[in-house]
C-alpha cells in the first residue's frame, strides 16, 4: 500500500532570539507513515511536540531538516522544501486541518464558514451550503444559528463549527488537533462516527486526542512522540 504521509527524520528547533538566542529543541528523528484509511494517533505528555508535528505536516511550522512527504495528486511532494504556492495547493486539494480553535472571520455566516472549503474547490454555493447544513445538523448546531457568524458562539459550538468545516471536504488527508476537547458525550460520538466514515473513504488521518476512550475508538495505530524527544 502506498503511504499518504511519509515523515522521515524530521527535526524542529525553536531559536528564541528575544531570549538571548536560546535553542529550544522540540522534536528530532520524527519518522512514521500513514496509509489511506488509517487513523494514527500521536501520544505523549503535554509539551512532547505532538501539535508541532501536526503543524510540520501541514506546512505551518518549518522543519530544520528531514522530509515531509505528502502524496498530492498522484505524486509525492516534500512539504519541508516546497514553495509557498505548492504548500497552498496541497492544502487546497490534499490536506485538511482541524485546529483546536476556530479562527473566526468576522461577519461570515456559520453555514458559509463551513461551506468555504468546498466552494474553493469548485462546488456550487448551493450544493456546498446544503452539505454544510447536513453536517451542522449532525453536529447539533440548531438551524437558527446557521446564518450568524460563529464569533459569538460558545466554545463547544465553535469547536463543532470547526469540525464541520474540517470534515466537509473530500480531502485525502486530515489532521485533527484535539477535535473532541470541549464536546459533550453526544457530540463526541458524532465525531467518532465522522472519523469512521472518513476511514471507509480511504482518508489518511493523524490525530491528537487526550480522551482515552475516544482514542481507543478512532485509532488504528499509536505513534509515541516521546521517542522523538529532541536532545536538549
Partner 1 sequence: MVDQAALENDEPLLVAEALSKSFGRIAACRDVSFALYPGEVLAIVGESGSGKSTLLQMLSGQLTPSAGHVSYRMRDGITRDLTTLGEAERRFLFRTDWGFVHQDPAQGLRMAVSAGANVGERLMAVGWNHYGRIRDTASDWLTRVEIDTARIDDAPRTYSGGMRQRLQIARNLVTEPRLVFMDEPTGGLDVSVQARLLDLLRSLVAELNLAVVIVTHDLAVARLLSHRVMVMKGGRVIETGLTDQVLDDPREPYTQLLVSSILPP
The footprint of partner 1 (CB under 8 A) covers: 14-18, 55, 59-62, 84-85, 87-88, 105-108, 120
Residue number, 12 or 71, with CB nearest to partner 1? 12
Q: 469548485: which residue's cell?
A: 122
By the 8 A CB rule, do 79 and 55 touch?
Answer: no
Q: Closest distance between partner 1 and the C-beta of residue 138, in Å?
A: 27
Q: Closest distance between partner 1 and the C-beta of residue 104, in Å?
A: 10
Go through the chain and tell me how many residues it has: 232
Residue number, 50 or 55, with CB nearest to partner 1? 55
Q: Closest distance between partner 1 and the C-beta of residue 151, in Å?
A: 11
Count the Cβ atoms, other than its own, within 10 Å of residue 150: 24
Residue number, 62 or 221, with CB nearest to partner 1? 62
Residue number, 97 or 167, with CB nearest to partner 1? 97
Task: Please choose, from the candidates 164, 126, 128, the residue with its C-alpha nearest in 3D space to the C-alpha of residue 145.
Answer: 164
Rg over alpha carbons for the chain, rounded to the nearest Å, is 18
Q: Closest distance between partner 1 and the C-beta of residue 120, in Å?
A: 8
213/52 Cα distance (integer angstroms): 24
Q: Closest distance between partner 1 and the C-beta of residue 81, in Å?
A: 12
What's the angle, vertex CA 173, arms to CA 50 and CA 12, rounded to 5?
30
Q: 514553495: which residue's cell?
A: 83
By the 8 A CB rule, do 176 and 206 touch?
Answer: yes
Residue number, 38 or 112, with CB nearest to partner 1? 112
Amino acid at each position: 500500500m502506498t503511504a499518504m504521509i511519509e515523515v522521515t527524520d524530521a527535526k524542529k528547533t525553536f531559536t528564541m532570539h528575544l531570549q538571548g538566542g536560546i535553542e529550544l529543541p522540540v522534536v528530532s528523528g520524527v519518522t512514521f507513515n500513514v496509509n489511506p484509511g488509517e487513523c494514527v494517533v500521536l501520544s505523549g505528555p503535554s509539551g512532547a511536540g505532538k501539535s508541532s508535528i501536526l503543524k510540520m505536516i501541514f506546512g505551518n511550522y518549518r522543519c530544520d531538516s528531514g522530509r515531509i512527504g505528502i502524496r498530492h495528486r498522484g505524486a509525492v511532494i516534500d512539504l519541508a522544501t516546497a514553495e509557498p504556492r505548492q504548500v497552498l495547493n496541497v492544502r487546497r486539494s490534499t490536506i485538511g486541518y482541524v485546529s483546536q480553535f476556530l479562527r473566526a472571520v468576522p461577519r461570515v455566516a456559520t453555514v458559509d464558514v463551513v461551506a468555504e472549503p468546498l466552494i474553493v474547490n469548485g462546488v456550487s454555493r448551493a450544493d456546498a451550503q446544503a452539505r454544510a447544513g447536513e453536517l451542522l445538523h449532525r453536529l447539533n448546531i440548531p438551524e437558527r444559528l446557521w446564518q450568524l457568524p460563529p464569533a459569538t458562539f460558545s466554545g463547544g459550538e465553535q469547536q463543532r463549527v470547526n469540525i464541520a468545516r474540517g470534515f466537509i471536504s473530500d480531502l485525502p488527508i486530515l489532521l485533527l488537533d484535539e477535535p473532541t476537547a470541549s464536546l459533550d458525550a453526544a457530540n463526541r460520538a458524532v465525531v467518532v462516527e465522522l472519523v469512521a466514515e472518513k476511514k471507509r473513504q480511504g482518508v489518511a488521518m493523524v490525530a491528537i486526542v487526550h480522551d482515552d476512550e475516544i482514542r481507543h475508538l478512532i485509532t488504528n495505530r499509536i505513534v509515541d512522540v516521546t521517542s522523538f524527544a529532541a536532545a536538549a
